[in-house]
Amino acid sequence: MPAPARIVLIHALRDSQVPTWTAFAKGWPEAEIHNLLDDSLSADLAAEGSLKRDMIERFLALGRYAAGTAAQGHKTDAILFTCSAFGPAIDAVKKDLAIPVLKPNEAAFEQALSCGHRIGLLVTFAPALPAMQAELEAMAKARDIALQFSGRVAEGALAALQGGRPEEHDRLVAATAAEMPPLDALVLGQFSLARAAQAIAPVKGRPVFTTPEAAVAKLKALVR
């Protein structure tokens, strides 16, 4: 019997871990997953206000370390970053490594763009929004899609989640989603947002995509 796929998850927020594990348990339970957490990354980005070269170097170091982890002849088959605010840094890791490296939101963006051109993006970590918008715009341009983008920050939701008030987090996310204009698809941009998907009122013609489930499905297709 072949060894299970070995996937290394790299987190910049503790809150991203459980949604990722849940998505793997649901969508790819056979995968062997391992975790690296550096929650100083998100704090440092928030303090800096923008992505600097030293942050990219830190991501390169994390990626090389994750790719080099092995035990009893097993190799790392792929890396999944769960931190959505660091797109350019993850792009640098993609170019640096020979194994598949997946951004947290790229699979969900692909699914959303297959639904139409009016795409909404909801986040709880405000510094993530500019980089994610730029990534979505680049993907739409490559597909010759005239993107109509709508981005929102669910203010206070992340603080509520980190403060042990998950129901308040979900309520704030749902309220923000309800204020968004008509869309062909809505993407919940943080892995930690996946838990709030069920709280968002259904809107006809507007599927809601969560990043961890989409990422797991894409990784499974890439590696197997």
For the whole model, what pTM was predicted? 0.87
The C-alpha atoms of residue 70 and residue 128 are separated, in whole angstroms, by 31
Task: State residue 46's pLDDT score.
Answer: 85
Span 117-134, pLDDT tens digits: 999 999 998 888 998 999
Domains along the chain with CATH numbers: 6-104+213-223 (3.40.50.1860), 106-211 (3.40.50.1860)
User: Sorting pLDDT into bands at 50, 70 and 90, what band is 113?
Assistant: very high
Span 151-179, pLDDT tens digits: 999 999 999 999 999 999 999 999 999 99
For residue 80, pLDDT over 90 is answered with yes
Stretch among 18-22, 64-68, 84-88 having the lowest mean pLDDT: 84-88
Task: State residue 213's pLDDT score.
Answer: 95
The C-alpha atoms of residue 160 and residue 172 are separated, in whole angstroms, by 9
Among the listed residues 86, 18, 20, 28, the one whose alpha carbon sits nearest the alpha carbon of residue 53: 86
